[in-house]
Amino acid sequence: MEKITVTTPLLPPLEELTPYLEDIWNRKWLTNNGYYHQLLEKELCKYLDVKYISLFSNGTLALITALQALELQGEIITTPYSFVATSHAIVLNNLKPVFVDIDPNTYNLDPKKIEEAITDKTSAILPVHVYGTPCDNEAIQKIANKHNLKVIYDAAHAFGVKKDGVSILNWGDLSILSFHATKAYSTIEGGAIICHTPEMKKKLDQLKNFGYESETEIPMLGSNAKVNEIQAAYGLASLKYIDNAIASRKRSAELYRKELSNIKGISCLDIQDDVKLNYSYFPIIVNSKEYGESRDCLYFRLRDNNILSRRYFHPLITDFDFYKNHDYKKYDLSISKKTSDNVICLPMHHNLTENNINFIIEIIKGSLK
Ligand SMILES: Cc1ncc(COP(=O)(O)O)c(C=O)c1O
């Protein structure tokens, strides 16, 4: 039986990558802000409709560096309903995560619950556009302005997402992207920070290159998070295919929604009218009482039928040993917990066929066991 994977990488045609590789071989310049690195930054600014972008070797280092660049202190308000890199980046900066619950309709940090978590130690808010659904930026930014806090968006899932025709990557002080192979757009491993000023762009470029200002000057502590020429070329070759890939994901999402709407106990994420999504993920919530089977039973039944879905995000960040063993502040996280206990991300990628989806639906319906 054919395996239906939860995702598949957006591979550019090999023959289109080869000329880039030949040119890189001729140039003999493999990393350190090379020709293709610069070109990809330029092309991504155009494609994403953002002013400044700094490429990183992965989304986690982008997030760590974004927090470092803003010179934050004390406590950062964030969500437990995310990939663990979100809060790891806080802790790796010697800052303290403060976990606040999510909105049941978007699964994003709930702005209504942020203010009660603000103390005189709070320096920033780190929300996540979960599954690419935009956060309530207006409400979050209003709170941030009132309390003089920075906002850093973990936009790892939000490549190309727009609200009212404007890129949501322009929100907040900084936004980060992940270009991991599992993401809608990838550079195999990779990531980026989007910022608003040339001064911040310069600082981010220095921070990802050991803090170098010039050959003999290092005014700040920096890591090594540079992107090599081969990955940048891969990113350029893939960029041509991203619109078609997203269109294909959209068709799959629409088919899933139509077919799942008749299955009792299965619900899909709400969609907002004014948002252009990238269809990165297809999460469903299993209401076991109505559906007649638990989320985990469905997950394993799908797996027994060679359908690889993912309990994403499960466990909650706050349920991992590291976070349980540290005394980080947590507010009532009941909605995050309920979501994490009942969510499944179904297979979603640009190569998914109608037959694949129909088969997945039959398994969920229970008509094939
Ligand atoms: C929400 C979120 N933040 C951060 C990251 C980290 O990105 P990367 O895997 O590129 O380090 C991921 C990656 O899966 C993610 O999903």
Query: Do the strands 150-154 and 122-126 form a parallel or antiparallel pair, or are they unpaired?
Result: parallel
Q: What is the pLDDT along the chain (369 residues), one digit of tens a residue?
A: 789 999 999 999 999 999 999 999 999 999 999 999 999 999 999 999 999 999 999 999 999 999 999 999 999 999 999 999 999 999 999 999 999 999 999 999 999 999 999 999 999 999 999 999 999 999 999 999 999 999 999 999 999 999 999 999 999 999 999 999 999 999 999 999 999 999 999 999 999 999 999 999 999 999 999 999 999 999 999 999 999 999 999 999 999 999 999 899 999 998 888 999 999 999 999 999 999 999 999 999 999 999 999 999 999 999 999 999 999 999 999 999 999 999 999 999 999 999 999 999 999 998 655
Nearest to 253 by CA among 240, 269, 242: 269
Helix (H, G, I), strand (E, B) or coil at 346: strand
Per-domain residue ranges of the chain: 14-239, 242-365
pLDDT of residue 286: 97
Question: Which CATH code is given to the segment(s) 14-239?
Answer: 3.40.640.10
- Tally the C-alpha atoms within 13 A of residue 236's C-alpha that lie toward its C-beta: 22
Pocket lining: 60 vs ligand 1, CB cutoff 6 Å: yes
Rounded to a whole number of angstroms, the distance between the first and last alpha carbons of the chain is 14
- Strand ranges (E), the chain: 52-56, 75-78, 96-99, 122-126, 150-154, 162-163, 166-167, 174-178, 191-195, 266-268, 275-276, 282-286, 343-346
- Residue 213's pLDDT is 96
Which protein residue's CA is at the shortest distance from atom 7 of ligand 1? Answer: 59
In ligand 1, the atom with minimum distance to the C-alpha of 128 is 1
Q: How far is the CA of 147 from the centre of ligand 1 (A)?
A: 28
Distance of alpha carbon 58 from the chain centroid: 11
- What pLDDT shows up at residue 198? 98
Distance (Å, rounded) from C-alpha 75 to C-alpha 91?
10
Q: For 101, which DSSP code?
A: P
Q: Which of 93, 84, 192, 175 is nearest to 127 (CA)?
A: 175
Find out whether 82 and 101 touch, Cβ atoms under 8 Å.
no
Q: Do domains 14-239 and 242-365 have the same CATH topology?
A: no
Cross-strand pairs, 310? 345
Q: What angle separates helix 85-92 from helix 59-69, to the nearest 10 degrees?
A: 40
Tokens of 50: 């953002």
Residues 51 and 74: their CA atoms lie apart, in Å, by 30
Alpha-carbon distance values, 272 to 28, 106, 246, 318 (Å): 48, 10, 17, 29
Whole-number Å distance, alpha carbon 85 to ligand 1 midpoint, is: 6
Residue 6 is predicted with a pLDDT of 97
- Residue 60 CA: nearest ligand 1 atom is 11
Please give the CATH number for the structural domain made up of 242-365: 3.90.1150.10
The closest-lying atom of ligand 1 relative to the alpha carbon of residue 189 is 10
Cβ of 127 less than 6 Å from ligand 1: no
Cα distance between residue 327 and residue 183, in whole Å: 32
Strand partners, 52: 195
pTM confidence score: 0.97
* Residue 65 CB–ligand 1 contact under 6 Å: no
Give CA–CA dist 368/6, Å, rounded. Answer: 20
Count of other CB atoms within 10 angstroms of residue 78 = 27
Distances (CA, A) of 38 to 53, 94, 356: 10, 32, 39
Q: Closest residue (by CA) to atom 16 of ligand 1?
A: 83
